[in-house]
């Protein structure tokens, strides 16, 4: 029974953790792009994003990570044979990368608060895809264990995930280009009136 409780809360923890990571970097993108706004909107937006980032990181994302890790330890304590499984070693390696990503996001949050972040909105969009890829790999390892599928279906699913990531990037690029065109057109209107 303990194993089932640990597993249930492990799943709840990683859902919360990933939800926080997905939204956190999205807030970073908005935070960086707020620099393009005129005052006082720029200051107001940056202050609001800073509050939202800190709350999300401290109240949702980090507790989600802690619950995930604690419940994983609980699962392993009730089933120590899992520690001999090669798939688990790979999964734990990817979870280690995810934990590093989590703390790197905390570092970026501090840089944004101090106006020292060198990342652009576009590069942050690319960074925002990292947890998606890690999620896919970690879940696939957890479900298929040592029998990770390499057939056509698996490659189609992988291709779909890559297609979604590329589509999101292209959509953001098109949206940004349209915004630049609109801004340029609006700047031309006052000149034409003079």
Can you tell me the distance from the alpha carbon of 100 to that of 87, in angstroms, rounded to the nearest whole number? 20
pLDDT in the model for residue 103: 98
State the angle between helix axes of 152-193 and 130-144 in degrees (0 to 180), rounded to the nearest 10. 170
Residue 91 counted as an annotated binding residue: yes
128: closest CA among 108, 114, 111?
108
pLDDT in the model for residue 114: 95
The first and second tokens of residue 143, run together, are 């479900």
pLDDT in the model for residue 16: 97
pLDDT in the model for residue 111: 96
The first and second tokens of residue 163, run together, are 């297609």
- pLDDT per position as a tens digit, 77-106: 999 998 999 999 999 999 999 999 999 999
Q: What is the dihedral of CA 42, 48, 50, 54, to 10 degrees?
A: -170
Structural domain spans, the chain: 1-148
Q: Rg for the chain (alpha carbons), in Å? A: 21
Can you tell me the distance from the alpha carbon of 72 to that of 63, in angstroms, rounded to the nearest whole number? 14
User: Is 112 within 8 Å of 65 (Cβ atoms)?
Assistant: no
pLDDT in the model for residue 180: 82
For the chain, residues with pLDDT lower than 70 are 189-194
pLDDT in the model for residue 190: 63
pLDDT in the model for residue 133: 86
pLDDT in the model for residue 194: 57
- pLDDT per position as a tens digit, 125-141: 889 888 988 998 899 88
pLDDT in the model for residue 161: 77
Per the rule left: phi > 0, alpha: psi between -120 and 50, beta: everything else, 119 is beta
pLDDT in the model for residue 188: 80
Q: Is the pTM of this model over 0.85?
A: no
Can you tell me the distance from the alpha carbon of 120 to that of 112, in angstroms, rounded to the nearest whole number? 11
């Amino acid at each position: 029974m303990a194993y089932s409780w640990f597993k249930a809360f492990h799943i709840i923890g990683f859902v919360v953790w990933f939800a926080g990571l997905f939204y956190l970097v999205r807030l970073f993108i908005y935070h960086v792009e707020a620099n393009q706004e005129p005052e006082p909107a720029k200051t107001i937006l940056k202050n609001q994003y800073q509050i939202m980032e800190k709350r999300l990181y401290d109240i949702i994302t980090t507790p989600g990570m802690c619950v995930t890790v604690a419940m994983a330890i609980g699962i392993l304590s009730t089933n120590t044979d899992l520690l001999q499984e090669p798939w688990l070693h790979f999964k734990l390696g990817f979870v280690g990368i995810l934990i590093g990503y989590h703390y790197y996001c905390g570092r970026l949050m501090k840089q944004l608060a101090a106006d020292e972040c060198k990342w652009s909105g576009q590069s942050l969009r690319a960074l925002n895809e990292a947890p998606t890829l890690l999620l896919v790999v970690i879940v696939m390892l957890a479900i298929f264990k040592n029998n990770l599928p390499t057939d056509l279906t698996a490659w189609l699913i992988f291709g779909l995930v890559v297609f979604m990531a590329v589509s999101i990037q292209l959509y953001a690029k098109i949206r940004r280009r349209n915004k630049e065109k609109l801004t340029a057109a609006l700047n031309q209107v006052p000149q034409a009136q003079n």
